[in-house]
Amino acid sequence: MVHLLRLAVFSAFVLLALATQYPRQPWRRRRQRVIYFILFFLAVSLEVGLSRREIWPFSTWAVVSGLSPEKITNYDFEVIAADGRAVRVDPQVWQPASDNEILDGWVAWHIDETTPVEREELARFVLGRAERMRQSIRSGARRGVNGWLFGPLAAPYMFRRRAIWHSTDDVPAVRFVAVRLVRESWDVRERFRDESRVSREIVYELRSQ
Amino acid sequence: MSSVLNSCQRKCSRFWFRPASAVNLAVARILFAGTALWIVLSRPDLPSILTLPDVMWRTVPKMHRIAYLLVFNLTTERVLFVTLAISLAAAVIGWRARLACFVSGLLLYHFAPLETLFWTPDPTLRGLTLPTLGLIILAVSPCNRALSPTAARKKTPMVSPEHRWPLRMLQVLLAELYWFAGLAKLRNAGLAWVSAKNLQDYLMAYSQIFGIQGSPPLGYRVAAHPAVCSFIACIGITVELLFPFALFSKRAAAILVPMAFVIHVGIALLMHIVFLDAALLLIFVDWSVVYQRRLFDNADVIGLRREDLTS
């Protein structure tokens, strides 16, 4: 039920906003209603910010506010072509979803709870998306969907991973036949000194028939 | 005691209701709607996130979807998304601006969480949080009295107390963003947040997750200098904690607003975290001065008498 609080608070915000205008009266008579609207806005936004309880769209804005983790775990998918060439999945494959929301969000939080059947469902989805983008790049068509209007000036995602697949050289000439989820972990300072200090584990792999 | 209260009341009244130009409010409308439109048009197929595999949606509590009214089928969502883009465009150009802002605000509340909902119901910092609240505020303000096709036809005052409070609310929204972010750092990590080691670790970690390729990334190069890291962290948190002063002092705003912008550029380059609402900082600029000067310069061309403008 606590999630419905967001809807209730936003509804109250909208209704109080409308109450500043309706019924239509001269400004001097509406001023008191404007004051109530402002007080509600201040009360809710300060409560959220100071209590650090998110009631979106009123936000705590607490991002990158803790101490930086010294050890990192990172998930990524790799796809393997029929000729055996393996490539990391390009972030644009996920569009319109963000790679960060999928990999650092859903996969990191939920992959360990999934059943083999669910993992297969996810893997088939990734394989299908990656193959479509491979074909698109091989045919010289545009890559992700986000740049359809603004091109490179399209709004990026909050966390910006580098694109990997730029040209036909970056993707295999033959179709993808397998996908695997890779979990990498490392110590931030050790990797800073030596880029190779990353441990790598295959969480699971699926080969298409 | 009563004199203190009276003085406080006068100051509050002056802060929220001092007469202001319609131009600043209209610029705020363009900035909020324009930012949201840029993001919406950069995610043209956002409703298709609903077609992510069932395995991903099974982990989402039903209440999360109900809270954002994400209960329609894909076709309906696509129609609503096109409506959102059209209403945002209308808000930018000022055509039926208030209605357009209202519709946009409601639809942003509906669509913004879609980007993250499959793992978190809070889409903070994905760029649409400020426009969602901001456009509702603008919808109940006279944001159509300038920079809109109907503005010239209406005989409405260009300076009014009605123009001040909505702009103030938008500025408070932005000031809270920085202040809360600064407070959260102090409460979650204390003064250790400004230590060189902490920022070094952040720069290294984000470069490693998002940016490494070939030559050392910029984040690595800065992380190699602890004193620079400590200085950057101190400046960052100081700007965040002091930002509310931009609400009360033009001089403070003239320093803090450009510094906040520079910090966002630095964070994007060093940590690969992009703040999509950076343009909204421009609501702290007094556009009426710029606008009036342009009108004054072009008065002869557009058939106005200079005396009209100065009066």
Nearest CA to B140 out of B85, B109, B172, B100 is that of B100
Report the C-alpha gap between B139 and B141 in whole angstroms.
6
What does the pLDDT average to over B246-275? 96
What does the pLDDT average to over B190-212? 92
What does the pLDDT average to over B47-76? 95
Query: For residue A180, what are the CA distances in angstroms to A72, A176, B121?
Result: 20, 11, 28
Residue B214 binned pLDDT confidence (cut-offs 50, 70, 90): low
The pLDDT, as a whole number, for residue B3 is 87
Residue A63 binned pLDDT confidence (cut-offs 50, 70, 90): confident
Any CB–CB contact under 8 A between A22 and chain B? no
| Residues in Cβ contact with A207 at an 8 Å cutoff, skipping those fewer than 6 apart | A177, A178
Please check whether residue A136 is in contact with residue A142, taking contact to mean a CB–CB distance below 8 angstroms: yes
The pLDDT, as a whole number, for residue B109 is 98
**H/E stretch holding B192:** none
Report the C-alpha gap between B137 and B97 in whole angstroms.
12
Mean pLDDT estimate for chain B: 91
Q: If you search the block for the tokens 């509804």, which residue do you land on?
A: A11
Nearest CA to B119 out of B210, B202, B56 is that of B56
Query: For residue B144, what are the CA distances in angstroms to A19, A188, B132?
Result: 19, 52, 18
What does the pLDDT average to over B270-290? 94
Report the C-alpha gap between A191 and A130 in whole angstroms.
29
Can you count the helices (H) and strands (E) in chain B? 14, 2
CB contact under 8 A, B165 and A59: no
- Chain A partners within 8 Å of B244 (Cβ): none
Residue B248 binned pLDDT confidence (cut-offs 50, 70, 90): very high
* The two three-digit tokens of residue B285, written as one number: 């600029």
| Amino acid of residue B135 | L
The pLDDT, as a whole number, for residue B311 is 38
The DSSP annotation for A151-191 comes to GGGS---SB-PPP---SGGGS-SS-EEEEEEEEEEEEHHHH
Report the C-alpha gap between A147 and B243 in whole angstroms.
34
Segment B294-311, tens digit of pLDDT = 655 655 544 444 454 443
- φ/ψ of residue B103, rounded to 5: -60, -45
Q: Is the pLDDT higher at A38 or at A160? A: A38
pLDDT value at A37 more than 90: yes
The pLDDT, as a whole number, for residue B298 is 56
CB proximity under 8 Å: A 42-61 to B? 42, 45-46, 49-50, 52, 54, 56-61
Nearest CA to B46 out of A97, A98, A157, A99 is that of A97
The pLDDT, as a whole number, for residue A160 is 79
Any CB–CB contact under 8 A between A18 and chain B? yes
> Pick from A121, A160, A188: which is nearest to B55 by CB?
A121
What does the pLDDT average to over A125-133? 95
Report the C-alpha gap between B94 and B28 in whole angstroms.
12
- Chain B partners within 8 Å of A63 (Cβ): 124-125, 181, 273
Cβ of A62: how many Cβ atoms within 10 Å? Answer: 19
| ipTM of predicted complex | 0.95
CB contact under 8 A, B120 and A148: no
Q: What is the pTM of this model?
A: 0.94
The pLDDT, as a whole number, for residue B157 is 75
- φ/ψ of residue B235, rounded to 5: -60, -45
- Chain A partners within 8 Å of B160 (Cβ): 27
Segment A82-125, tens digit of pLDDT = 999 999 999 999 999 999 999 999 999 999 999 999 999 999 99
Segment A157-187, tens digit of pLDDT = 998 788 889 889 999 999 999 999 999 999 9
The pLDDT, as a whole number, for residue B158 is 82
Residue B174 binned pLDDT confidence (cut-offs 50, 70, 90): very high
The DSSP annotation for B134-158 comes to HHHHHHTTTTTSSSSTTTTT----S
Segment A146-151 long-range contacts (CB within 8 Å, at least 24 positions apart)? A146/A92, A146/A95, A146/A96, A146/B42, A146/B43, A146/B44, A147/B42, A148/B44, A149/B41, A149/B42, A149/B44, A150/B38, A150/B41, A150/B42
What does the pLDDT average to over B168-172? 98
The pLDDT, as a whole number, for residue B297 is 60
pLDDT value at A140 more than 90: no
Please check whether residue B113 is in contact with residue B68, taking contact to mean a CB–CB distance below 8 angstroms: yes
The pLDDT, as a whole number, for residue B303 is 46
* The two three-digit tokens of residue B261, written as one number: 């912008």
Q: Which of A145-159, B183-197, B288-302 is predicted least confidently? A: B288-302
pLDDT value at B87 more than 80: yes
Instruction: Please give the share of chain B, as a percent, with pLDDT higher than 90.
Output: 83
Report the C-alpha gap between B41 and B311 in whole angstroms.
42
